[in-house]
C-alpha cells in the first residue's frame, strides 16, 4: 500500500502497526553530525554481515551433524557436494565470519582514532568491546564445527589455556570440554554455544550498543562540541546548509546504505572468487587425534593475541598473563587515555604517534603469529609482544602530557 503525500512515514507505521513512537525516535528525533566520513557507516556494515551469518547459518544448520563421527562429512560432502547451492551458503558463512573481524577492527580503531570512547561515551565503547569478545567466542566455536585437523587441535590448545587458572583451572578444562579430552561432548557444547547462546549475547550487546549511542550523540571528525538541539532547530527552519547536523533518517541512512551496497559488491566478489582465504587448507583433513599438525595457528583475526601468548617463549606463565592483559586492556581505553579532549589523533601531539605505532605493532604480531616460533622469529615476536604491552603502560603518561597542548 502506498504512502499518501499528506502523511509521513511515522504516521503510516502508526496507523498500520501502532509503532509511531519507535519510528519517531529512529527517524525524526535523532541527529548526526555532518562532518563525518564513510567510516561511520561500518556499524551498519557489521550488522549486515551478522544478518548474513545468521541466514547462511540457518541453512547450514539444516544439514550439519554435531557428531564427531558425522560432522566432517556433513560439511565437506553433504553440504559442499550433495546439497544444491550448499557450497554457496558455506562460502557466504566462511567469508562473512572472516570479513566481519576486518570490519570490527576498522570500526574499533576508527573509534580510537577519533576519540569516540571518551566524554560520556564510555558505555558505547564497553558495549562495543563486549560485541568484539562475543564475536571472538562465536568465531572460535564455529571454527570447531567442521571437525577438521585445525578444528580439533585449535580446540585442544585453547581449552588447555584455562588449565593455567589457579585452583579451578584443571576442573574448568574438564567442565568446558565435557570430558577429560576434546571429544564428542566438546563438539556438542560448542555447537550449542555457536548456534544459540552466543548469537543471543551478540544481539543483546548490539541492542545495548545502539541504545548507548543515542545518549551522548555521535562525535565527528574534528571533535568539536555541537549543540544538537540548536542545530536541529536550524535544520528544521530550512537553514540546512549552515546546520552542522543532519537527520538520521533518511539522510544518514542513505549514506549508510550506499556504503553497505559498495561493501557487498566486495564481499560477494570474495565469496565467488577468493573464498579460499577464509578456509584453512589443513582443515579439509578430518580430525586425527593421533597426528598433530606441524604448525598450529588460529585464524588471522586471532593471530595478534596468539603471538602475544607465545611471545614469552621462555615462560608459559608470563605468556598467559600477557595474553589475558592483551585481550582485556582495550576495555580500559576510556580510563587509560587521560586527555579529556575529544578529537582525532592527528590533532594530538603524542597520541598520533602512539596510535600508528600500535597499528604497526598489531600488524607485525599478526604476521609473525602465523610463522613458526623458531630462531629469530621467536625474538621478534617477544619484542612485538613487549612493545604492545608497553604502549598501554605509557598511554596514561603521554595523554596526560597532552593537556593544554595543541
Residue 365 lies in a domain: yes
Assign residue 186 the CATH number of its domain. Answer: 1.20.810.10
Distance between start and end Cα atoms, the chain? 56
Query: 525524526: which residue's cell?
Result: 28
Handedness of CA 40, 44, 45, 47 (dihedral sign): positive
262 and 366 together in one domain: no
358 and 381 together in one domain: yes
Contact between 339 and 399 under an 8 Å Cβ cutoff? The reply is yes
Residue 8 lies in a domain: no
Contact between 63 and 76 under an 8 Å Cβ cutoff? The reply is no
Please tell me the total count of domains within the chain.
Answer: 2
Residue 385 lies in a domain: yes
362 and 282 together in one domain: no
Q: Which of 318, 297, 315 is nearest to 365 (CA)?
A: 297
Please give the residue range of the domain that contains residue 367. Answer: 306-406
Model confidence pLDDT, tens digit, residues 151-166: 999 999 899 988 888 8
278 and 353 together in one domain: no
Phi-psi domain of 225 (left: phi exceeds 0; alpha: psi -120 through 50; beta: other): beta
Low-confidence ranges of the chain (pLDDT < 50): 1, 3, 5-6, 20-25, 27-28
124 and 181 together in one domain: yes
Query: 553497505: which residue's cell?
Result: 260
Model confidence pLDDT, tens digit, residues 235-273: 888 778 888 888 887 788 888 999 999 999 999 999 999
Q: Which of 248, 335, 315 is nearest to 33 (CA)?
A: 248
Helices (H) and strands (E) in the chain, counts: 17, 2
Which of 296, 318, 351 finishes a domain?
296
Residue 242 lies in a domain: no
Residue 118 lies in a domain: yes
287 and 339 together in one domain: no
281 and 192 together in one domain: yes
Q: What is the pTM of this model?
A: 0.89
Decide: residue 15, CB within 10 A, 0-12 exposed, 13-18 middle, 19+ buried: exposed
Model confidence pLDDT, tens digit, residues 337-346: 999 888 899 9
Amino acid at each position: 500500500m502506498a504512502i499518501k503525500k499528506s502523511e509521513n512515514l511515522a504516521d503510516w507505521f502508526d496507523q498500520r502497526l501502532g509503532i509511531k513512537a519507535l519510528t519517531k525516535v529512529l527517524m525524526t528525533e535523532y541527529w548526526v553530525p555532518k562532518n563525518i566520513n564513510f567510516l561511520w557507516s561500518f556499524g551498519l556494515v557489521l550488522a549486515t554481515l551478522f544478518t548474513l551469518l545468521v541466514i547462511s547459518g540457518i541453512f547450514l544448520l539444516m544439514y550439519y551433524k554435531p557428531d564427531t563421527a558425522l560432522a566432517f562429512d556433513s560439511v565437506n560432502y553433504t553440504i559442499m557436494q550433495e546439497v544444491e547451492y550448499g557450497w554457496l551458503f558455506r562460502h557466504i558463512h566462511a567469508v562473512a565470519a572472516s570479513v566481519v573481524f576486518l570490519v570490527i577492527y576498522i570500526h574499533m580503531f576508527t573509534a580510537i582514532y577519533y576519540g569516540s570512547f571518551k566524554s560520556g561515551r564510555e558505555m558505547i565503547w564497553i558495549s562495543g568491546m563486549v560485541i568484539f569478545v562475543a564475536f571472538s567466542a562465536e568465531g572460535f566455536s564455529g571454527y570447531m564445527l567442521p571437525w577438521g585437523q585445525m578444528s580439533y587441535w585449535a580446540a585442544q590448545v585453547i581449552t588447555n589455556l584455562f588449565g593455567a587458572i589457579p585452583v579451578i583451572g584443571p576442573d574448568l578444562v574438564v567442565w568446558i570440554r565435557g570430558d577429560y579430552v576434546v571429544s564428542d561432548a566438546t563438539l556438542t557444547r560448542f555447537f550449542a554455544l555457536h548456534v544459540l547462546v552466543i548469537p543471543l549475547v551478540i544481539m543483546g550487546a548490539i541492542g545495548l550498543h545502539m541504545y548507548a549511542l543515542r545518549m551522548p550523540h555521535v562525535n565527528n571528525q574534528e571533535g568539536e562540541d555541537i549543540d544538537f538541539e540548536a542545530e536541529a532547530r536550524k535544520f528544521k527552519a530550512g537553514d540546512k546548509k549552515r546546520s552542522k547536523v543532519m537527520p538520521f533518517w533518511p539522510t544518514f541512512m542513505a549514506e549508510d546504505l550506499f556504503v553497505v551496497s559498495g561493501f557487498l559488491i566486495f564481499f560477494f566478489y570474495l565469496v565467488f572468487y577468493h573464498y579460499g582465504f577464509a578456509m584453512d587448507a589443513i582443515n579439509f583433513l578430518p580430525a586425527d587425534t593421533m597426528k598433530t599438525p606441524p604448525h598450529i595457528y588460529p585464524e588471522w583475526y586471532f593471530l595478534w593475541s596468539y603471538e602475544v601468548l607465545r611471545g614469552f617463549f621462555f615462560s608459559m606463565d608470563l605468556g598467559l598473563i600477557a595474553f589475558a592483559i592483551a585481550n582485556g586492556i582495550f576495555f580500559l581505553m576510556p580510563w587509560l587515555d587521560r586527555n579529556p579532549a575529544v578529537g582525532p589523533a592527528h590533532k594530538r601531539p603524542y597520541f598520533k604517534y602512539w596510535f600508528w605505532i600500535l597499528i604497526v605493532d598489531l600488524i607485525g604480531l599478526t604476521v609473525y603469529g602465523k610463522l613458526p616460533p623458531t630462531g629469530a622469529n621467536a625474538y621478534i615476536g617477544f619484542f612485538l609482544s613487549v612493545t604492545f604491552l608497553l604502549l598501554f603502560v605509557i598511554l596514561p603518561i603521554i595523554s596526560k602530557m597532552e593537556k593544554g597542548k595543541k
